[in-house]
């Protein structure tokens, strides 16, 4: 496999990627549910574009989430906050939705970071 692909897309652990990927499937499943229960049929061209974007966002979501979690860890450090569970779950859901929805824009930042991080690690070894 090409070294650039290994350094970027292979930069996250398999466990982390699969966990985030499964959580990211919540949103296309919800969209699919709402579309399938709509009263009006969706034009084929719009459905094709929508499905393509859902697939791309789902595969890029783990990298988008990686960027988000890295920024939050940098800002918050290892502090622990005690908050209302409902508020925390709603906040988590909203941040997950934003990371999934904007994955096509956010993930390249994470992929670039992983490329340079893994490039240095490979050069040092």
| Proportion of the chain above pLDDT 90, given as a percent | 54
Decide if pLDDT at 121 tops 80.
Answer: no
Determine the pLDDT at residue 39. Answer: 81
pLDDT given for residue 114 in this prediction: 85
Residue 34's pLDDT is what?
A: 87
Q: Cβ–Cβ contacts within 10 Å for residue 63, how many?
A: 26
pTM confidence score: 0.84
Closest CA to 24 of 91, 101, 113: 101
Looking at residue 59, what is its pLDDT? 94
**What's the confidence (pLDDT) of residue 48?**
86
Written as six digits, the tokens of 46 are 């719009």
Return d(Cα 69, Cα 88) in angstroms, integer: 15
26-80 pLDDT, tens digit each? 999 999 898 888 788 778 788 889 899 999 999 999 999 999 999 999 999 888 8
- For the chain, which residues make up each domain, given as ranges? 3-118
Q: Which residue carries 């941040």 as its tokens? A: 95
Average pLDDT value over all residues in the chain: 87
CB 26 within 8 A of CB 57: no
Count CA within 13 A, CB hemisphere, residue 115. 11
């Amino acid at each position: 496999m090409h070294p650039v692909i290994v350094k970027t897309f292979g930069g996250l652990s398999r466990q982390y990627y699969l966990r985030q990927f499964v959580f990211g499937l919540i949103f296309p499943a919800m969209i699919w549910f709402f579309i399938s229960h709509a009263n009006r049929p969706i034009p084929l061209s719009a459905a094709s574009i929508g499905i393509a974007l859902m697939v791309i966002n789902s595969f890029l979501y783990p990298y988008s989430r990686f960027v988000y979690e890295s920024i939050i860890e940098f800002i918050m450090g290892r502090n622990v906050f005690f908050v209302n569970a409902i508020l925390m779950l709603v906040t988590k859901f909203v941040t997950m939705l934003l990371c999934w929805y904007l994955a096509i824009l956010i993930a390249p930042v994470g992929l670039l970071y992983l490329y340079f991080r893994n490039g240095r690690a490979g050069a040092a070894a």
